[in-house]
Structure 1
Amino acid sequence: MSFAEVLPLVFVMVAGPQILSAIFLATSENWRRNSTAFVGGAALSISLVVGLAYALGVGAAGQGASNTTLSAIVLVALLFAMVHTYRTREESEPPRWMGKLSAATPRFSFRLGFLLMGFFPTDILTSVAVGSYLAARDAPLTDAVPFVLLTLFVLALPSLVLVAFGERAETFLPKARDWMNENAWVVNELVIVFFILMSLNNLLG
């Protein structure tokens, strides 16, 4: 899979409560273990969904699936994400369960990463698209590794920033978290539109 194909997929995976959860956990009391557990749970669920979709798609790989399949499915996921982001734009408060993240445990963080990245509607659709697409092209499952690793890197980014910048990051991350709570939908919509145009170009080109 090319970087141009992977990048919009990764954005769909992390946009919304996923990246917000990563930031909340990076500012929690036990942030090192919580962030590690969150990324670990995400790694397991993403890998399982992609692998299962790949295994189920192998039998259909010889049916001449179009190379535009991934772009079409990603476009649907992006449109879904765009509508969802717009409909929830006026929700000034984060989901109720996010209130638990400041005092989260590694076990809770692992479970959150597993469920959020494996079963959130846009995430499961995107992971299934990746596995099915690789199977349809008769490509090895290892071709999904860049997609999985880049997604995990983005989720780990808040804690990596904290490790790299120390006290400055401890001041910056809470501000970034609060700003994203208030303005994330605008940024998300602009980026989603960009990736929709990219997907349309791949689909029509």
Structure 2
Amino acid sequence: MRFLEVLPLVFVMVAGPQILSAIFLATSENWRQNSAAFVAGAALSISLVVMLAYTFGTGARSQGASNTTLTAVVLAVLLFAMVNTYRTREEAEPPRWMGKLERAMPRFSFRLGFLLMGFFPTNILTSIAVGSYLAAREAPWTDAVPFILATLLVLALPSLILVGFGERAESLLPRARDWMNANSWVVNEAVIVFFIVMAVNNLLG
């Protein structure tokens, strides 16, 4: 099924400040409201960007653009994302604003989820790649739904872990945060390369 081809990009969407923000919010004072607001904001922005990219790609096809042309555009976007991820690999320290997340309020959390998940450079490129790729393959827009839901599930995992494991999660989450902070660029690169291979295969076959 086509939606399985875009699911690996979920890791690109969440690796870095995205999952770190989710972890910080899961350990904030109002963690239930903050986590829910963060995921809600992310759901809105990711859906919006994917839908716009899909609509643009579908419109391009109706005006005569070939599957090869659209796939080439997706490939170019992914190559740019790969270079950008490698170029910024040394920027391991989380942004200063993350220190404020422990005292965040739901309105701020919603706005953060909307802006971070929809318009962070790597995320907007990934969402555009997903929407464009599905349009190029003439797949229905609904094939993007599992990608969106899987992304939201990963963002919700820190709070779900806290619910399931209680005090044990309080020591687990900081270790997970540190690991992601140190290795997120490697995860990004691996997944982008995987998707580039699929795009090249689509061009050739």
* Kept in 2: contact 1:70–1:129 (CA 8 A): no
Q: Could you say which residue in structure 2 is the equivalent of 1:32? A: 32
**8 Å contact 1:74–1:126 — kept in the other structure?**
no
Aligned to 1:2: 2
Question: C-alpha distance in 1, partners of 2:49/2:128?
Answer: 6
CA contact (8 A) 1:46 1:148 kept: yes
Deviation at 1:108, TM superposition (A): 0.8
Asked whether the 8 Å contact 2:30–2:105 carries over to 1, the reply is yes
Deviation larger for 186-195 or 45-54: 186-195
Counterpart residue number, 1:159: 159
Distance in 2 (alpha carbons) for counterparts of 1:42 and 1:122: 14
Please give the residue correspondences for 1:28-107 in structure 2 after superposition, counting only pairs within 5 Å: 28-67=28-67, 72-107=72-107
Deviation at 1:116, TM superposition (A): 1.0
Q: CA deviation at 1:173?
A: 0.3
| Uncovered stretches (5+) of structure 2, i.e. residues with no partner | none
User: In 1, Cα distance between the equivalents of 2:124 and 2:69?
Assistant: 16
Partners of 2:133 and 2:194 in 1: CA distance: 22
Note the aligned Cα RMSD (angstroms).
2.7
Unaligned runs of 5+ in 1: none
Give me the TM-score of the superposition, normalised by structure 1: 0.82
CA contact (8 A) 2:3 2:144 kept: no
The Cα shift of 1:136 comes to 4.6
In 2: Cα distance, 1:106 partner to 1:182 partner: 28
When residues 134 and 95 of structure 1 are mapped into structure 2, their CA distance, relative to the original with a 3 A threshold, is same
Query: Are 2:8 and 2:191, in contact at CA under 8 Å, matched by a contact in 1?
Result: no
CA distance in 2, matches of 1:133, 1:198: 10
Change (3 A) 1:19 1:200: farther
1:23 aligned onto 2:23: yes
Alignment size in residue pairs: 205
SS in structure 2 at match of 1:60: helix
CA distance in 2, matches of 1:163, 1:70: 43
Give the Cα separation in 1 of the matches to 2:201 and 2:58. 27
Partner Cα separation in structure 2 for residue 70 and residue 155 of structure 1: 30
